[in-house]
Amino acid sequence: MTLEQLDKQYGLQTYNRDYTNFVKGEGSTLFTENGDEYIDFASGIAVNSVGHNNPILVKALQEQVAKIIHISNLQVIEPQAKLAEQICTLADYDGAIFFANSGAEANEGAIKIARKYGETKFDKKRYKVITLEHSFHGRTITTVKATGQEHFHTPNFSPYPAGFSYVNGLEAIYKEIDDETVAVLIELVQGEGGVQPFQKEAIQKLEKHLKEQDILLIVDEVQTGIYRTGKMLASNMYEISPDIITLAKGLGGGVPIGAVMTKHKDVLSAGDHGSTFGGNYLSTRAGLAVLEVLSDMDKSGKLTETLAYFTVKLKEMATKYSNLFTEEVGLGLMRGLRAKDNETMKSVLASCMKNRLIVLPAGRNTVRFLPALTITADEIDEGFKRFEKAISSL
Q: What is the CATH number of the domain that holds 178?
A: 3.40.640.10
pLDDT in tens, 218-273: 999 999 999 999 999 999 999 999 999 999 999 999 999 999 999 999 999 999 99
pTM over 0.95: yes
Cβ burial, residue 76 (10 Å; 0-12/13-18/19+): exposed
Count of domains for the chain: 2
Determine what percent of the chain is predicted with pLDDT higher than 70: 100
What DSSP designation does 161 have? P
Question: Are residues 13 and 111 both part of a single domain?
Answer: no
pLDDT in tens, 119-133: 999 999 999 999 999
Could you list the beta-strand ranges (E) of 128-240. 128-132, 164-167, 181-186, 189-190, 196-197, 216-220
Q: How confident is the model at residue 134 (pLDDT cuts 50, 70, 90)?
A: very high
Question: Are residues 30 and 132 both part of a single domain?
Answer: no
Q: Is the pLDDT of residue 162 over 90?
A: yes
Q: Is the pLDDT of residue 393 over 90?
A: no
The last residue of one of the domains, among 299, 315, 343, is: 299
What DSSP designation does 25 have? E
Question: Are residues 22 and 138 both part of a single domain?
Answer: no
Question: Are residues 231 and 375 both part of a single domain?
Answer: no
Question: Are residues 321 and 287 both part of a single domain?
Answer: no
Question: Are residues 186 and 253 both part of a single domain?
Answer: yes
What DSSP designation does 22 have? E
d(CA 373, CA 49): 5
pLDDT in tens, 10-37: 999 999 999 999 999 999 999 999 999 9
Question: Are residues 109 and 211 both part of a single domain?
Answer: yes
φ, ψ dihedrals at 40, nearest 5° = -100, 100
Question: Are residues 329 and 279 both part of a single domain?
Answer: no
d(CA 365, CA 342): 5
Question: Are residues 108 and 143 both part of a single domain?
Answer: yes
Could you list the beta-strand ranges (E) of 70-168. 96-100, 128-132, 164-167
How confident is the model over 181-187, as a mean pLDDT? 98
Question: Which residue, among 266, 280, 286, 285, has the nearest Cα to 74 in the 3D structure?
Answer: 280
pLDDT in tens, 88-121: 999 999 999 999 999 999 999 999 999 999 999 9
Q: Is the pLDDT of residue 214 over 90?
A: yes
pLDDT number for residue 368: 98
Question: Are residues 148 and 249 both part of a single domain?
Answer: yes
d(CA 335, CA 191): 9
Helix %, strand %, coil % for the chain, to 5? 40, 20, 40
pLDDT number for residue 387: 98
pLDDT in tens, 323-372: 999 999 999 999 999 999 999 999 999 999 999 999 999 999 999 999 99
Could you list the beta-strand ranges (E) of 268-374. 325-331, 334-339, 357-358, 360-362, 366-369
Could you give the 3-state DSSP secondary structure of residue 317? helix
The last residue of one of the domains, among 266, 299, 332, is: 299
pLDDT in tens, 278-305: 999 999 999 999 999 999 999 999 999 9
φ, ψ dihedrals at 139, nearest 5° = -115, 0
pLDDT in tens, 32-91: 999 999 999 999 999 999 999 999 999 999 999 999 999 999 999 999 999 999 999 999
d(CA 252, CA 138): 18
The last residue of one of the domains, among 299, 319, 350, is: 299
pLDDT number for residue 172: 98
What's 385's domain CATH number?
Answer: 3.90.1150.10
Question: Are residues 257 and 305 both part of a single domain?
Answer: no
C-alpha dihedral sign at 146, 148, 152, 156: positive
d(CA 55, CA 57): 6
Question: Are residues 49 and 112 both part of a single domain?
Answer: no
> By residue range, what is the domain housing residue 71?
57-299
